[in-house]
A and B are shown apart, each in its own frame.
Chain A
Amino acid sequence: MRLEVQNLETGYGKAQVLFGLDLVVGEGELVALLGANGAGKTTLLRTISGLIPPWRGKVLWDGEDLRRFSPARRARLGLGHVPEGRQLFPLMTVEENLRLGAAFLAPEREREGFERVFALFPRLYERKRQLAGTLSGGEQQMLAIARALMGFPKILLVDEPSLGLAPRLAEEVLLSLKRVVEEGVGVLLVEQNVALSLEVAARAYVVEHGRIVLQGLAHAVLEDPRVREAYLSL
């Protein structure tokens, strides 16, 4: 399975945000997408999952153009998306939130999904009868990721999972993504925490003003003087 973005341009109203962006994510690899606020990272993820139509360019799923596919249909194909701000169902329990992640699968897969996410996040098991809105920020983020995993995605888009979390929790969440990748899922991780994401990612892209300005293996990107200066203040 391979997600490919070709020469993507899009925006909101008349304001163009992405100016011809190319990117590839394969199964079983963790790819970081780095960049400052407003660089277009979230817009890219939203376009990939079909929430925003592209102006030009393509989103390809194993070579197939996804243009006519609704967000829900993309999700059923195996494209998971943990959106900005988590977007949980606050008045439903942890268990119910998770069940909704598997709503389109056969019931047997649901049990399999529960085993998988509870192994990954034991804390969610302890809290499964609690309302999602009453969880701590870190637990909510874990739930958002777990809920997307319940649908057995092949490629998972994750938007700013460390936002608003204490450093130790942010690390825990990013390390859990690494374990997801080891299970064979491809993860495209959007992060502002550059140091931490380059530690867990295999490859990285750097976006500025809607264009990819740098790409390569994570350790190479980490060594790049521009990255060190602009994002790590070294």
Chain B
Amino acid sequence: MELLLQTLLNGILMSGIYALVATGLALSLGVVGIVNFAHGEFLMMGAFLSYLLFAFRGMDPLLSLGLAFLAAFVVGALTYQGLIRPVLRAAELNQMLLTFGLSILLQNLALLLFGADTRVVAPPYQATTLSLGPFFLGVVPFGAFLLSLAILLMLQVFLTRSRFGLAMRAVSQNRLAPGLLGIEADKVYLLAFGLAAALAGVAGVMLSVMLYASPTVGFVFTLKSFAIVALAGLGNLKGVVPAALVLAMAEALVSTYLPGGGGLVEAVFFLVLFLALVGRAWRKA
């Protein structure tokens, strides 16, 4: 029983980061209407930024968070302006090939610059755990979970209160009307894409401590985020958090209870994606 609860607890703690990354993907998909295979690479950049700042400036990853947010926002905005904007009206396949190509390019660029080694950011509190009765809570996963939750809450307030947030939701619901109301959709897209990248960048900083920074760390998060977004339903931002929780819990259960589960964890999202799509098709039929 204790093992089960500890497993579920681990799952919950992981779900925050998943939700953060997947929300970014859902924003670029729902608002801009682009399938961004390079989403995880923004995360990878955040992780390396955190690593570089830690290794060369001794900067605490907590401080790197804000910098990574801004840097990823700028990179995302530039990516939109330079690469995405020209293909907005192109065929979907062309758009996907572009973002897929960008993903490969960025991964190999990172490989060239940093090599294939995994780099861990190890601040003094990295291995600290809190014990809660019979359960153990890593300080870092717990902090990352709380931070993710706080960021998602702020995003929620932004999307429901501010004009820019309203405009983002509006564009995702109707492409024609915003222009007629004096809202330049192009600016909304730019902001949404930058924000999506920024969310991934922040998650990258957290992962550089919890996991590691490496050229390929992002791609698996792109795939997992797709599974989460498919489970939540395309364009459903509120569904992302519960969907992320489902995936993270499923992974935790597999890793604890399946013999050799550790190796199978990275395949769980396939199962979730598969079940989500089959379930959706079934409900429609």
**Partner-B contacts on A (CB < 8 A):** 49, 51, 70-73, 75-76, 80-81, 83, 87-92, 96, 99-101, 103-104, 147-148, 151
C-alpha spacing A75/B185, complex, angstroms: 13
Q: Does B132 contact A (CB under 8 A)?
A: no
Query: 19 A-B Cβ contacts within 8 A?
Result: A71-B180, A72-B179, A72-B180, A72-B185, A75-B179, A75-B181, A80-B180, A83-B180, A87-B174, A89-B173, A89-B177, A92-B170, A92-B173, A96-B166, A96-B169, A99-B166, A100-B166, A104-B183, A147-B181
Pick the residue among A76, A89, A148 that contacts B170 (CB under 8 A). Answer: A89
Pair count A-B, CB < 8 A = 75
Q: Provided the pairs A70-B184, A72-B183, A103-B181 are in contact, do residues A87 and B170 lie with their beta carbons within 8 angstroms? A: no
Cβ of A91 and Cβ of B173 under 8 Å apart? yes
Give the number of residues in B that approach A within 8 Å (Cβ atoms): 18
Inter-chain contacts of B173 with A (CB < 8 A): 89-92
Q: Is the interface of B mostly helix, strand, loop or mixed?
A: helix
Report yes or no: B176 in contact with A87, Cβ–Cβ below 8 A.
yes
Report how far A101 CA is from B181 CA in the complex, Å: 5
Closest 4 A/B residue pairs (Cβ): A75-B182, A71-B179, A104-B182, A87-B177
Residue of B nearest to A93 (CB): B160
Which residue of A76, A103, A151 is within 8 Å of B167 (Cβ)?
Answer: A103
Nearest neighbor of B176 in chain A, beta-carbon distance? A87
B163 at the A interface (CB under 8 A): yes
* Docked-complex contact A81 and B180, CB < 8 angstroms: yes
| Interface flag for B33 (CB, 8 Å) | no
Distance of B32 from chain A, by nearest CB (Å):
17
Question: Roughly how many angstroms separate A29 CA and B253 CA in the complex, as a whole number?
Answer: 69
CB pair B177 A83 closer than 8 Å: yes
Whose C-beta in chain B lies nearest to the C-beta of A71? B179
A70 to B185, CA, bound (A): 11
Interface residues of B in 148-191 (CB under 8 A from A): 160, 163, 166-167, 169-170, 173-174, 176-185
A151 touches B182 (CB 8 A): yes
Q: A70: shortest Cβ distance to chain B, in Å?
A: 7
Q: Give the A-binding residues of B (Cβ under 8 A).
A: 160, 163, 166-167, 169-170, 173-174, 176-185
Q: Which of B176, B181, B185 neighbours the largest number of chain A CB atoms within 10 Å of its CB?
A: B181
B165 vs chain A, min Cβ distance (A): 10
Measured CB to CB, the closest approach of chain B to A22, in angstroms, equals 24
Give min CB distance, B273 to chain A, whole Å.
25
Please name all residues of chain A whose beta carbon is closer than 8 Å to the beta carbon of B181 when the two chains form the complex: 72, 75, 100-101, 103-104, 147-148, 151
Known A71-B180, A80-B180, A90-B173; further 20 A-B contacts with Cβ < 8 A: A49-B180, A70-B184, A72-B178, A72-B182, A72-B183, A75-B182, A81-B180, A83-B180, A87-B174, A87-B177, A87-B180, A88-B177, A89-B170, A92-B173, A96-B169, A100-B178, A100-B181, A100-B183, A104-B181, A104-B183
